Structure 1
């Protein structure tokens, strides 16, 4: 009787294992951490939609090595400790041999530490803090430029067009904001600009007028802000309200580079420029098609975060198709040899300038013209000529 019971249990287990292996033979599933609730949820939504578009396209063309791609998303709420827990689950429990995703630098850092510790490759998609790829990590790769490189296009625009002598820098207190501000201080030194004010604030502030009063007293040529979207919009609305004039209002990507900035700042967003990593008008293969597909579904063009997420799945596909096996080490080796051009741009992971496994690429400048983001710099990528000088507040229609 006992032998029959053992035989029955073993049979059930074999059926379960066989079923699992059959599913694994037909598909490959990735769990992606993203902020789907909380203050960063808008970015998580853009990225989730973009991953799904890429998944549909890849599956329509046969999947990855004949396997159907299945994506699942876990909500990190934009909190590093939750991101870390998701990464541990994905690696230790789900046994996923490669991990990718997340939005913010702090959450990406948390996952990077877990991935390096477990020796599982991690593709950073949007986290921009310099230090993520400056720790001699072997298993961490980043496809987006680091925050210090976000402003390369903007720096060129300032040098060749605006030629400012003074700048005020406002930044939110996260790692991204802090590093972005430090990067602009270095840029200012290169360009011969005097930093007349460098002021930090807590994200989610409801009143920037005390800080902006300090800015107004300094009368800088450029007001440069590193902010997420709601802060970015409120800053510009209150700058308009206080009638603070400057030669240029500039954003360090992030909140300034997505359509919601224009929706929330309204006419105060007009003529604001921002660094960005991508625009729907770039000539990279598949960029325009992705942008139009996204817009047809969701009513607006994606920000660069969407292009990053969309292209990330193609980077993973490319690496898995070249890898000797789907072990973490073989996938890591394949990622290291990546050299492709995606809808987001060229992807090649290099060790240079103090970075490891870092992708380097040109960055762009957008300007809000007639209530719409237009690419204005470099000239070869421009969809419209920049507006400069910008009118003073009293010269604008209310």
Structure 2
């Protein structure tokens, strides 16, 4: 299938369920075999997160295609609706309202930017639609979501602590966090300040408008404090401007960026000298897991970003939960997601097709995801995660470690 020939804004994936699967169901379920189970991917195909959206879409489609080819869930085909949130809260809310009110989806997966997830989350839990997100904003799972939200991305507080540890390990004592004016950026800045203070060091935070053509004034303010480390918390478009202005200003200290803004797309967008020896840290896929290797093969690629691995896990988790709950509702997913995917003594699986077969046979399942274990606290935060540490040298991204 050539994805470049498909509409960017919205796609629907449907495959027929088999007659045998339908006949094996009880009467109440057979009556619904003509009604597809609808789930949605609300992802950034454009905007600041646009570099990740297309691969995230393909990862989610793979799960749905495989499950439908194997007979669907509850004898029904699965329909995946894809909407572009444009990395913009207002656009995301409009798309979410349509998905919930008109399309009647039972789950939304893959929301990326924390500002987007924060905006659409109330629509989901108020309408009992399950939401699985890759956003790290601390406030997301602090909302009164009644169990309708889980996230596979480490929280901003955890990631901020990882950055503070890295800065201290590199000998940094005076850091400055620069990021766009968002609640997530403020959370990162606050956490780094707190963690640096515990070590007897200092950190400051400067938030900027994210669509400016120059940040020379802001950088002049930052450099007056002579920081030995600058942390970049923006997306690729604004980070590209910041690193060029830092280079022009003659900054000689160290730079470390969030992987969603300092990555291959940034390397391709700016002069190589502006990124020499710049570090980056971000959540990492579970590169040793069979599910990660499986996804590599299916997508025919050599490496994967964490967000595509996470949405792949979202789709698997949601469809197994529907099978376990025996109902395609947000409430059913909420109530079954932990028991469906991490049952005590469960058989290890790395995909929904195998998981659903076991669930239908009354056997426990232990899902090992491409992004990690995918076990969640009662609050909805992922329990275990990996971080990837890298450095840019000579225009190439070099892995330091995964821990």
Instruction: Give TM-score scaled by structure 2 length.
Output: 0.77
Alignment of structure 1 residues 23-38 onto 2, 5 Å? 23-24=34-35, 27-38=36-47
Q: Report the 3-state secondary structure (helix = DSSP H, G, I; strand = E; otherwise coil) of the residue aligned with 1:150.
A: helix
Q: Which residues in structure 2 correspond to 1:239-254 (within 5 Å)?
A: 239-246=246-253, 248-254=254-260
Task: Kindly indicate whether residue 77 of structure 2 is the aligned counterpart of residue 54 of structure 1.
Answer: no
Structure 2 contact 232–257 (Cα < 8 Å) conserved: yes
Corresponding residue SS for 2:376: strand
Is the Cα contact below 8 Å between 1:154 and 1:274 reproduced in 2? no
One of 198, 208, 225 as aligned partner of 1:218: 225
Q: Structure 1, residues 218-239: CA drift from partner, whole Å, max 9, x if none?
A: 2211111111011222222222
* Deviations, residues 135-178 of structure 1 (Å, cap 9, x unaligned): 2321222221121112444344334x313211111111022222
Aligned CA distance change for structure 1 residues 317 and 188 (closer, same or farther; 3 Å):
same
Q: SS in structure 1 opposite 2:129? A: coil
* Contact 2:313/2:371, CA 8 A, preserved across alignment: yes
**Which residues of 2 match residues 181-330 of structure 1 at below 5 A?**
181-195=189-203, 197-246=204-253, 248-256=254-262, 258-267=263-272, 268-279=274-285, 282-291=287-296, 293-294=298-299, 296=301, 301-330=303-332
Size of the aligned set, in residue pairs, is 346
User: Structure 2 matches for 1:1-398, cutoff 5 A?
Assistant: 21-24=32-35, 27-59=36-68, 61-65=70-74, 67-124=76-133, 126-138=134-146, 139-159=148-168, 161-195=169-203, 197-246=204-253, 248-256=254-262, 258-267=263-272, 268-279=274-285, 282-291=287-296, 293-294=298-299, 296=301, 301-337=303-339, 338-339=341-342, 340-351=367-378, 356-364=379-387, 365-378=389-402, 381=403
Asked if the contact 1:151/1:363 (under 8 Å) is kept, the reply is no
Q: Could you say which structure has the higher helix fraction?
A: 1
Q: Which blocks of at least 5 consecutive residues in structure 2 are unaligned? A: 1-30, 343-366
Structure 1: state its 5+ residue gaps: 1-19, 382-398
- Judged with a 3 Å threshold, the aligned counterparts in structure 2 of structure 1 residues 324 and 52 are, in CA distance, closer, same or farther, namely closer
- TM-score, with length taken from structure 1: 0.78
Distance 1:54 1:266 in 2: 38
Q: Is the 8 A contact 1:99 1:120 kept in 2?
A: yes
Larger radius of gyration: 1
